[in-house]
A and B are shown apart, each in its own frame.
Chain A
Amino acid sequence: MGVTLPQSDPQGRPEHYLEGFRNRHGLEESGVEGNVVTLVVNPNIVPAVLATARECLQIMHLSYITVVDRVGSFELTYELLDLRGVSVRVKTAIEGEEPVIDTVTGIYPTANWHEREAYDMFGVAFKGHPDMRRVYMWQDHFDHHPLLKSFEISTKRTFEGLR
């Protein structure tokens, strides 16, 4: 049985998706510009939001998970594509130095390695992840998370003049 994809012209679909999310979850912010639906959501209901995206709205593809280290807090962006022109961005912000969030591997199995990479680079712990290991860095004696702003590299160029 093949995968059924929505028809090709993304006319009313972004609004339809926004409706689907609005009446199922309490969203902090939400907006539609062009073919992109942007949602800002509380971290603990992220798996629920993605579950509705996957089951109810048939958005099949999780493109990537971006983690941004806003020094005090971490900003996660889940980019979902429905493979026919519309993309949905679910954004959350996790406070504190030790970010912990539920995993979405159960809903989108492709998130497995994205979350492992996020853990390896930022230390974001994903509760319930099948094998939470480092992806890139060597396991034994490297206990830093390199992409944190606190991990200084010695040849940091300072752009005072241009800041």
Chain B
Amino acid sequence: MELRRFTQPNKPTNTTTVSNSEIAKWNILDRPLTRSRDELALSTFSFLFAEAVQYLQTRVQQVSELEDKLNQLGYRVGQRALELLYFRERINKREIRIVSILGFIRVQLWKFLFKKSADYLKKVTDREDEYYIEEEEPLVNRFISVPKDFGQLNCAAFMAGIIRGALDSAGFTASVSAHYIHRAESSRRAVSIFMIRLEESVMNRERRLAG
């Protein structure tokens, strides 16, 4: 096997005892986190995302399962993006209130990942624990047309997962889901909203802080 010849590194193969400092040169822990890499083509992301959707689609029976999986895929991104953003932008204050963290996600996190703020952040009337972020054209849906037989599937469930990951990471555990809504009869294309419902424990803390 030629593969072996090339890939066998010239160092002990017993991985449990290999000191990782041997590969220190390439270790993330030794590189500055603030260094911002060049941006990449949207095409690269779109092809990757489309393939992820196709991959997940073959592993589910129902549209709702596909949304769950996309949400989970995004969750891991959101968890990490929040921490990274604080370092990249050298932000020196944390957000400890609900409206502030949601605003932070709508503006800073969105710009960091998608190069623009989300369109709106709104409170659901009559629901203390529910908010939504509205976005006319979520980046991940730019090239996606969902076939009729997929019902109300919104692939921006991935972005809902990013919001959930960032919120959870910041200490605001919530459920987040993506939906299409038709704002006006006239417009053919629906806008997307990300429904955010905060957990009871988060609401209790918020009440104390507001108290």
Partners in one complex: no
Residues of A near any B CB (own CB < 8 A): none
Residues of B near any A CB (own CB < 8 A): none
